[in-house]
Amino acid sequence: MNDDELLRRELRGAREELVRKRTRQSDDLPTSESQLLLMPERDAAFLRLALMSVDDLETHIDRLERDLADLEDGIDRPDTERE
């Protein structure tokens, strides 16, 4: 799987988690971060997103969108060596 696909999957997972958290907040349910075992629909690779706050998720989504745009524009990753 290439970087583009990985970023898209994580971005999708982050957006889904943000929707879950906002829905839970709007339903006035008690917020508990200890519901990790009750998340069968979540991608196991991105369970850490469930531990993020709404603000942290929004910031993370902005970063992922920026990284994805950079990849699509052909901007090199900073960790790649230049020849």
81, 49, 55, 64: which is closest to 6 by C-alpha?
64
pTM over 0.95: no
pLDDT digit string, tens, across residues 20-70: 888 877 766 555 554 444 455 667 777 889 889 999 999 999 999 999 998
Q: What is the pLDDT of residue 42?
A: 67
Measuring CA to CA, which residue among 21, 48, 45 is closest to residue 32? 21
Query: pLDDT tens, 13-27?
Result: 999 999 988 887 776
pLDDT score recorded for residue 26:
72
